[in-house]
Amino acid sequence: MPPNHRKYMQWNGDRFRAWATKIGENTAAVIEVFLTVNKVEQQGYKSCMALLKLAEKFTPQRLEAACAKALSYTSRPNYKSISAILNAGHDKPLPTISTPKSNPHGFVRGADYYKGGADNAE
């Protein structure tokens, strides 16, 4: 076997599962999908390696959040969808929009305007 192929002999499904579990349960679930979607487990190794390498480019927390988001869309996510979520920043929580504290309901005219009936129709 050529030397560049021999290095992949050290990888197996259990090693990918253990690596993914260190990142989080959603990442482990995606790795499980990658390993079981093909007829032969070894066909998913490249996808597993690529996915787990995303934790180096981004962070393990962001990878876990992206895997959770992808799993909320489909039960069989793929590398491309998770990578797209990370690149677009859709794994980050949305910023909270604060309302003005003095007027929590958003009324502009005030209470006096709404008190009267025909008196305020000017």
Question: How many H-runs (helices) and E-runs (strands) does the chain carry?
Answer: 7, 0
pLDDT band at 2 (very low <50, low <70, confident <90, very high): confident
pTM score above 0.85:
no
CA 53 to each of CA 97, 106, 109: distance values in angstroms, whole numbers, following the listed order: 34, 47, 56
Residue range 100-115: mean pLDDT, rounded: 65
What length is written for the chain? 122
Give the C-alpha distances (Å, rounded to integers) separating 6 from 10, 13, 32, 41, 43: 8, 16, 24, 17, 15
CB–CB of 20/28 below 8 Å?
Answer: yes
Q: What is the pLDDT of residue 94?
A: 72
Range with lowest mean pLDDT among 95-99, 101-105, 113-117:
101-105
Residue 66: which H helix or E strand, with range?
helix 60-73
